Structure 1
């Protein structure tokens, strides 16, 4: 289980995402849905991902963040900023290729920034599977090392997704 959470704030087209504590895949369904809504907005001028209070982050969350960075570059022509003061978290983010889509800064940030926790709502097995699969596919796009590392997992998740679609056609789909 995740012992952390994601907080979010927005002001005049700048979006702030704060990852607090130990954050795993279960905590990022709402984040993924939020990113889809942000992608559709026209007034996006910037994004900051604050990892200064992150103690652990899994590959699904890193994939969701990679998706944010890629979409901001592709759709809005913006390079997002990532704040990290934990050398282990910074090394992990860089090793996954996030330095390609974020400017990663060693900065503690303003503790007065007011963010609100994203609520984990409507988490189904299928929505979790789709989020984890999409996050890892995004990581695979960043570099060959990620491609090699996550290809077996993605193939396994795709098989599981195909099985679910065949056995449960009334479930939500991607």
Structure 2
């Protein structure tokens, strides 16, 4: 019995598949049908298979994923991306030949995959500038955001002006 599942999303011709937990053959029928539909689409731009939360994957699932990689290459001249953090899953996928049809990003290699961003040099001024810039950007997106964030931005601008005044005239503070 499978204790995992497959999640799927698509945006502007890019397809995302997330294999979560222990995924076995019985979870593949809907995936296989979906792949057949994708193969028929003309606007396919890419595909990403995320195995970062996969704890077990059987050969049927690997075969369906191989089919995805092969079909995208043949029908759309696209090489899909496979992302993995589990060395056992990565080894299994590579041993089955998925590296021939996918760009394999092994997250065990720190040069390839995601890393946690470390907050460095957090000063009041840097934080103020970042928050102010982010909210100004949101305000530019639409009138609703303009109305929502305008009071905050004005307050942050006052704070920024006060901070600049303290830096220029430290004795007046």
TM-score normalised according to structure 2 size: 0.62
Q: Secondary structure at the match of 1:51?
A: strand
Query: Shift of the alpha carbon at 1:109?
Result: 6.1
Structure 2 CA distance for aligned equivalents of residues 96 and 44 of structure 1: 25
Give the paired residue count.
110
- The equivalent of 1:25 in structure 2 is 25
Structure 1 CA distance for aligned equivalents of residues 52 and 114 of structure 2: 8
- The equivalent of 2:88 in structure 1 is 88
User: What is the RMSD of the two structures over their aligned residues, measured on CA atoms?
Assistant: 1.3
Give 5+ residue unaligned stretches, structure 2: 108-112, 116-173
Q: Secondary structure at the match of 2:28?
A: helix
With a CA cutoff of 8 Å and minimum separation of 6, indicate the structure with the bigger relative contact order: 1
Q: Is the 8 A contact 1:2 1:22 kept in 2?
A: yes
Query: Shift of the alpha carbon at 1:37?
Result: 0.2
Runs of 4+ displaced beyond 6 Å: none
Query: Shift of the alpha carbon at 1:102?
Result: 0.2
| Structure with larger Rg | 2
Query: Shift of the alpha carbon at 1:106?
Result: 2.3
Q: Secondary structure at the match of 1:53?
A: strand
- Asked if residue 61 in structure 1 is aligned to residue 61 in structure 2, the reply is yes
Structure 1 CA distance for aligned equivalents of residues 114 and 53 of structure 2: 10
TM-score normalised according to structure 1 size: 0.62
Give 5+ residue unaligned stretches, structure 1: 111-174
